[in-house]
């Protein structure tokens, strides 16, 4: 199980702005370990999904070039207080993490 996603969600008029921070190494596979002279194995989030009340509203596909501890923000139209936003990621090693927040 991956580390928990941190979410900040705020309703701004007719949309909800979601900001998420995902603690994750996002190791590119290119960075050398000076001790062994071998690259650190690639370990990065490949898929990131956002759901509103259980319905997928956005699917993101990421490569190695998303920064360590990815931060992402986006906005969902017509989301109102009481709606549930669920965020989930999967990485290339089969780890995953999921978190939901209720908008208020």
Residue count at the site for another protein (CB under 8 A)?
32
When asked if residue 52 is in the footprint of another protein (CB under 8 A), the reply is yes
Out of 23, 25, 47, 98, the residue judged to bind another protein by CB under 8 A: 47
Out of 36, 37, 38, 67, the residue judged to bind another protein by CB under 8 A: 67
Contacts of 62 (CB under 8 A, 6+ apart): 44, 45, 46, 47, 48, 70
Please state, in angstroms and rounded to a whole number, the distance separating the CA atoms of residues 97 and 73.
17
Please state, in angstroms and rounded to a whole number, the distance separating the CA atoms of residues 89 and 61.
10
Which of 4, 63 has the CB closer to another protein? 63
Q: What is the largest CA-CA distance in the chain?
A: 54
Phi, psi of 24 (to 5 degrees): -165, 140
When asked if residue 64 is in the footprint of another protein (CB under 8 A), the reply is yes
Least Cβ distance, residue 104 to another protein (angstroms): 19
Residues near another protein (CB under 8 A) are 15, 28, 30-32, 46-47, 52, 55-68, 70-79
């Amino acid at each position: 199980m991956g580390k928990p996603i941190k979410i900040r969600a705020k309703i701004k008029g007719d949309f909800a702005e979601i900001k998420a921070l995902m603690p994750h190494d996002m190791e590119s596979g290119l960075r050398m370990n000076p001790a062994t002279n071998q690259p650190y194995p690639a370990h990065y989030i490949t898929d990131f999904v956002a759901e509103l009340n259980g319905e997928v509203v956005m699917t993101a596909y990421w490569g190695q070039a998303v920064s360590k501890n990815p931060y992402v923000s986006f906005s969902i139209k017509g989301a109102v207080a009481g709606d549930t936003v669920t965020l989930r990621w999967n990485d290339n090693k089969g780890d995953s993490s999921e978190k939901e927040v209720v908008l208020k």
